[in-house]
Amino acid sequence: MEGAEARATRELIRRATPQRPVVFNGLRAFLVGGVICGVGQIFLRLYRGQGLPLREAATATSGTMILIGALLTGLGVYDRIGRQGGMGAFLPITGFANAIVSPAMEFKREGFILGVGARMFTVAGPVIVYATAVSVAVGAILWLLGRAG
Amino acid sequence: MSTVSRALEARTRRMGKQTLRFRLTPAVVAAAAVVGPKEGQGPLGEYFDIIKQDDLLGEKSWERAESRMMAEACRVALRKAGAALGDVDYLIAGDLLNQITSSSFVARELKLPFLGLFGACSTLAEGMAVGAMMLDAGYARAVLVAVSSHHCTAERQYRYPTEFATQPPPTAQWTVTAAGAILMATKGDGPAVTLATVGRIVDAGIKDPLNLGAAMAPAAAATIRQHFEDTGRRPDDYDLIVTGDLANVGKEIAAELLSREGMELEDRLFDCGSSIYDPSQGVEAGASGCGCSAAVFTGYLMHGLLTGRYRRLLLTCTGALFSPTTYQQGETIPGIAHAIALETQDAPGQ
């Protein structure tokens, strides 16, 4: 499509296309993300109460939250939490577990090598790649600043 | 128009630029819909022949489940017509998966001469047009047209793993888990296929694969407009102008585009994608997929034609002809729509 008619059509489409309800979604993300972090906090306190030092307790909490995220993904519940929570469900470590477990489950039917092995990181891969790259860059900047200072 | 082209027009059964007129008016002898649980729970649930209780159908993969639904729809359609596989000359089928394997696996099972089609969600109308051409030209006495889609096969191919937690935008559409089959024949009772308007690609410049209704709406409007221009018919010649899977966003755009051309369809415009689910079923803008128009047509609309509720329908199936590769490379989404006119024996004459 070209010309005035195409412009009019594009304008109509733009007008008729509903936008994401950003404020409502933000609120939902805040609540869902908050609940997930609250659960994490409970576990952290629990491990601390058992006498684990903060560092170990934090590691144990992460492990527990990954387990919960993976379990809820396997039970077919976490995608529903994600539908509601959006980034509030994706950003915590439970979301990272979901991003790894969901493709592993999905592509298991293509076998353990070409399915699970090759496609497990289709969703989480970019996160890992760019998180690693950024951490290296930030490390280099800090090192340079340290030398300069 | 020159004398030559006028003479050709009379001989070649064409009307205007894009419309075919079938003289032998092939009949839809039987139609069958096999749907998944979510579709069965929707407002049109009572019209479907078989409602599966489980998306996987006890199979080991979603893909196998989809194929099985299509094969079952074919068998139910044959049974309803009192026909056997041996009575069918060709299977014309398509689906949404890479290399349309759902369809070819059904063809492998049914052992029928097979023509595979890819028209994305427009495949039902495309198949009916091709089938009607074959019947009208005398190359076949009976053809089976079958299409299918499955929420989970489409999700994993076009988007994310099914269990991945994402929040769809309000324009997103839920791919229907359903298969539909239609037995068309030159002899037999049933609504007649009288006209087919083969659509052109219309690309509205949409790049968002989660806004397919908007990508397909201009194509639907173009084909419907062309149908009226070619045939001289008017919207009120039809009880219903049906669109395949524009869903709520696309339907509004198509209605507005047609209204700008002076065609007020209002309640006459019916979209399968806006009708198969209840808004409470959590499907954002509505439904999509080959199975959407297939299930709604073979179940609900065929029921309306057979009970006399509708005497003349224009079935316009809409397709978004993109792949994950093309949208990831930033290409726009080409839309297409094909229209089929269906009429009962007592439809008012032209």
- All residues of chain A having their beta carbon less than 8 Å from the beta carbon of residue B166 are 79, 82-83, 86, 90
Q: pLDDT class for B5, splitting at 50, 70, 90?
A: low
Q: pLDDT class for B209, splitting at 50, 70, 90?
A: very high
Residue B35 is given by DSSP the state E
Contact partners, residue B226, CB within 8 Å, separation at least 6:
B16, B17, B18, B19, B197, B199
Contact predicate B205/B231, CB 8 Å: no
CB of B34 within 8 Å of a chain A CB? The answer is no
Q: What is the mean pLDDT of residues B114-139?
A: 97
Structure token digits, residue B156: 């994993």
Report the gap between the CA of A24 and the closest CA in chain B (Å).
Answer: 12
**Looking at chain B, which residue has its C-alpha nearest residue A7?**
B204
SS3 (DSSP) at B37: helix
Q: For chain A, how many residues are written?
A: 149
Q: What is the mean pLDDT of residues A44-50?
A: 97
- All residues of chain B having their beta carbon less than 8 Å from the beta carbon of residue A123 are 160-161, 164
Q: Cβ of A9 and B203 within 8 Å?
A: no
B273-331 pLDDT per residue, tens: 999 999 999 999 999 999 999 999 999 999 999 999 999 999 999 999 999 999 999 99
Long-range contacts of range A110-115, CB-CB < 8 Å, 24 or more positions apart? none
Q: Cβ of A84 and B163 within 8 Å?
A: no
- All residues of chain A having their beta carbon less than 8 Å from the beta carbon of residue B156 are 106-107
CA separation for the pair A44, A52 (Å, rounded)? 9
Amino acid at the residue B233? R
- The burial of A92, by beta-carbon neighbours within 10 Å (0-12 exposed, 13-18 middle, 19 or more buried), is given as buried
Q: pLDDT class for B13, splitting at 50, 70, 90?
A: confident
SS3 per residue for B90-159: EEEEEECCHHHHHHHHHHHHHCCCEEECCECECHHHHHHHHHHHHHHCCCCCEEEEEEEECHHHHHHHHC
Q: Cβ of A109 and B60 within 8 Å?
A: yes
Tell me, what's the pLDDT at A86? 96
b/e for B282-317, b at 16 or more Cβ within 10 A? ebbbbbbbbbbbbbbbbbbbbbbbeeeebbbbbbbb
ipTM value, please give it.
Answer: 0.90
Q: Cβ of A1 and B60 within 8 Å?
A: no
Contact predicate B302/B28, CB 8 Å: yes
- The burial of B340, by beta-carbon neighbours within 10 Å (0-12 exposed, 13-18 middle, 19 or more buried), is given as buried
Structure token digits, residue B316: 């316009």
Report the gap between the CA of B214 and the closest CA in chain A (Å).
Answer: 6
pTM of the model: 0.94
CA separation for the pair B69, B106 (Å, rounded)? 9
Domains and CATH numbers, chain B: 9-185 (3.40.47.40), 192-343 (3.40.47.40)
Angle at B274 between CA B268 and CA B280, to 5 degrees: 135
CA separation for the pair B73, B56 (Å, rounded)? 16
Q: Cβ of B205 and A6 within 8 Å?
A: yes
SS3 per residue for chain A: CCHHHHHHHHHHHHHHCCCCCHHHHHHHHHHHHHHHHHHHHHHHHHHHHCCCCHHHHHHHHHHHHHHHHHHHHHCCCHHHHHHHHCHHHHCCHHHHHHHHHHHHHHHHHHCHHHHHHHHCCCCCHHHHHHHHHHHHHHHHHHHHHHHHC
- All residues of chain A having their beta carbon less than 8 Å from the beta carbon of residue B206 are 13
Contact predicate B37/B76, CB 8 Å: no
Residue B45 is given by DSSP the state G
Most B CBs within 10 A among A5, A7, A12, hence the mutation to make, goes to A12
CB of A98 within 8 Å of a chain B CB? The answer is yes
Structure token digits, residue B152: 């989970």
CB of B249 within 8 Å of a chain A CB? The answer is yes
**A12, A79, A102 member nearest B256 (Cβ):** A12
CB of A79 within 8 Å of a chain B CB? The answer is yes
- All residues of chain B having their beta carbon less than 8 Å from the beta carbon of residue A6 are 204-205
Indicate if the pLDDT at residue B6 is higher than 70: no
Q: Cβ of B163 and A19 within 8 Å?
A: no
Q: pLDDT class for B8, splitting at 50, 70, 90?
A: low
CA separation for the pair B95, B99 (Å, rounded)? 9
Count Cβ–Cβ pairs < 8 Å, chain A vs chain B. 98
Indicate if the pLDDT at residue B233 is higher than 70: yes
Indicate if the pLDDT at residue A69 is higher than 90: yes
Q: What is the mean pLDDT of residues B15-44?
A: 96
**B60, B61, B165 member nearest A82 (Cβ):** B165
CB of A115 within 8 Å of a chain B CB? The answer is no
Indicate if the pLDDT at residue B162 is higher than 70: yes
Tokens 């993109």, residue? Answer: B322
CB of A83 within 8 Å of a chain B CB? The answer is yes
- The burial of A55, by beta-carbon neighbours within 10 Å (0-12 exposed, 13-18 middle, 19 or more buried), is given as exposed
Q: pLDDT class for A1, splitting at 50, 70, 90?
A: low
**A16, A73, A84 member nearest B249 (Cβ):** A16
Residue among B33, B95, B32 nearest B66 (CA):
B95
Tell me, what's the pLDDT at B7? 58
Give the DSSP letter string of B161-200: -TT------TT-EEEP-EEEEEEEESSSSS-EEEEEEPPP
Bridge partner list, B312: B343
Q: Cβ of B167 and A85 within 8 Å?
A: yes
**B60, B163, B257 member nearest A105 (Cβ):** B163
Tell me, what's the pLDDT at B2? 62
Tell me, what's the pLDDT at B187? 82
Alpha-carbon B110 to chain mean position: 22
CA separation for the pair B147, B289 (Å, rounded)? 10
Structure token digits, residue B274: 């806006």
Indicate if the pLDDT at residue A49 is higher than 80: yes
Average per-residue pLDDT for chain B: 95
Q: Which of residues 27-66 of A touch B (CB under 8 A)?
A: none
Q: What is the mean pLDDT of residues A102-123?
A: 94
Q: pLDDT class for A2, splitting at 50, 70, 90?
A: low
Q: Phi and psi dihedrals of B28, rounded to 5?
A: -85, 100
Report the gap between the CA of B346 and the closest CA in chain A (Å).
Answer: 39
- All residues of chain A having their beta carbon less than 8 Å from the beta carbon of residue B253 are 12-13, 16
Return the percentage of chain B with pLDDT > 90, whole number: 93
Tokens 């308007």, residue? Answer: B197
